[in-house]
Amino acid sequence: MEYYIKANRFLLENEEKSGGYLKIINGIFGEFAETIPLGSLVVDWSGHIIAPGLFDTHIHGIKGYDIMDGTTEAVHEISKAILQLGVTRFLPTTLTSSKTDLDQTIFAITEAVRQGLPGAQSEGIFLEGPYFSEQHKGAQNPIYFRDPDYSEFREWQSLSEGQIIKIALAPERENTLNFIEKVSKDGVFVTIAHTEASYECCKSAITAGAQNFVHLFNGMSGLHHRNPGAVGAALMDTRTFSELICDGFHVHPDIATLALRVKGDKLVLITDCMRAGLMPNGEYQLGEFTVVMKDGMARTETGSLAGSTLKLIDGVKNLQGWSNKPLYKIWHSASLSPAASIGKDTKFGSISSGKIADYVVLDEELIVQATAVNGEVRYRRD
């Protein structure tokens, strides 16, 4: 099917355009044009903004469901819920848990993808753990922490039918550098997280193949002028991406703006959302922990931040307001940069000719009016 979208504003890959038409051909973006041939099929979104679909590369759950529920229902419901928030691609994200629970969760994700997801589409599984260190455990259960085991990982990868695309670990654990080299050669993206690793240790991990840092500033050794830590390695190394949770709780707005200045297009906005997202205040489970969510902030009983309830589009709005940068540039921190962080930026993440036509229709207040996957509108606001 071929059609043109008419709108007031388009957030294209390298600029924002006013007016005009965007061509969609069989689920693929075509060229942007000021005029179109007579008789063309036009979908009229006058008064609206067309932006690329958002890509959440770190999300545990939402609307009462969690990936660690280990059910296909949970994966399907998360897929539907985030589509309404403008997310078209995501990485179902696990937590540190028992091997039995992780086996079940990986199986459920794989089966759900095989059945076909009704909303946002999975682009691979993100294993957050279990190869972490206790000093910055966050809401990860330390009784399951252990050193990386390539044989164990290969079992999980076989169970997932090759869908595990990303794994987070603490590089100071035994045998980690060898593990990083092996899984990187397998095409898996390694990210540093929940770690007390030194600056030098992180640099060695990056040389071995690690390419990302999970939720920058949170769950890692901090920045000190004589001891740069994991934060220093993340900010200094231009080869790496850094995730950031822009909910105003995890990172101060000015520090988020600083991270944007330093990392540029290698800053990746994420939610790290858990099942309390889109839910009322109350108690919820995150893995084996009870979490209390109040006014959008989720904490464990010991007071640690436990994921978030952030909507990715709100992270975009927050960082755009804090930094005063053009909307299309900040939007790409939640669409193009996430895709690039797992090597999929040639397919997704921006409105550019030849890429898959995932897009979001927004009003001027950036409220999602419709979301399209592969050029097909799958959600329309009542």
pLDDT tens-digit readout, 345-375: 999 999 999 999 999 999 999 999 999 999 9
Secondary structure, 3-state, the chain: CEEEEEEEEEECCCCEEECCEEEEECCEEEEEECCCCCCCCEEEEEEEEEEECEEEEEECEECCEEHHHCCHHHHHHHHHHHHCCCEEEEEEECCCCCHHHHHHHHHHHHHHHHHCCCCCEECCEEEECCCCCHHHCCCCCHHHCCCCCHHHHHHHHHHCCCCEEEEEECCCCCCHHHHHHHHHHCCCEEEECCECCCHHHHHHHHHHCCCEECCCCCCECCCECCECHHHHHHHHCCCCEEEEECCCCCCCHHHHHHHHHHHHHHEEEECCECCCCCCCCEEEEECCEEEEEECCEEEECCCCECCECCCHHHHHHHHHHHHCCCHHHHHHCCCHHHHHHCCCCCCCCCCCCCCECCEEEECCCCCEEEEEECCEEEEECC
CATH number for the domain formed by residue range(s) 2-51+351-380: 2.30.40.10
User: pLDDT tens for residues 17-29?
Assistant: 999 999 999 999 9
pLDDT given at position 288:
80
Residue 85 in this model has a pLDDT that exceeds 80 = yes
* pLDDT value for 200: 98
Confidence tier at 234 by pLDDT (50, 70, 90):
very high
Task: Give the model's pLDDT for residue 88.
Answer: 98
Note the pLDDT of residue 287.
Answer: 81
User: Is pLDDT at 231 greater than 80 in this prediction?
Assistant: yes
Of 81-90, 156-165, 294-303, the one with minimum mean pLDDT is: 294-303
Q: Of the ranges 35-44, 56-65, 132-141, which one carries the lowest mean pLDDT score?
A: 132-141
* pLDDT for res 322: 98
The domain segmentation of the chain, as residue ranges, is: 2-51+351-380, 54-341
What pLDDT is attached to residue 362?
98
pLDDT tens-digit map of 105-153? 999 999 999 999 999 999 999 999 999 998 887 778 889 999 999 999 9
Q: Taking 90 as the threshold, does the pLDDT of residue 379 lie above it?
A: yes
Per residue in 246-297, pLDDT (tens digit) is: 999 999 999 999 999 999 999 999 999 999 999 999 999 888 888 999 999 9
Q: Which residues are annotated as catalytic? A: 272
Dump pLDDT digits (tens) for 181-229.
Answer: 999 999 999 999 999 999 999 999 999 999 999 999 999 999 999 999 9
CATH topology of domain 54-341: TIM Barrel (3.20.20)
pLDDT at 306: 83
Q: Is the pLDDT of residue 382 over 90?
A: no
User: pLDDT at position 93, please?
Assistant: 98
291-314 pLDDT, tens digit per residue, is 999 999 999 888 888 889 999 999
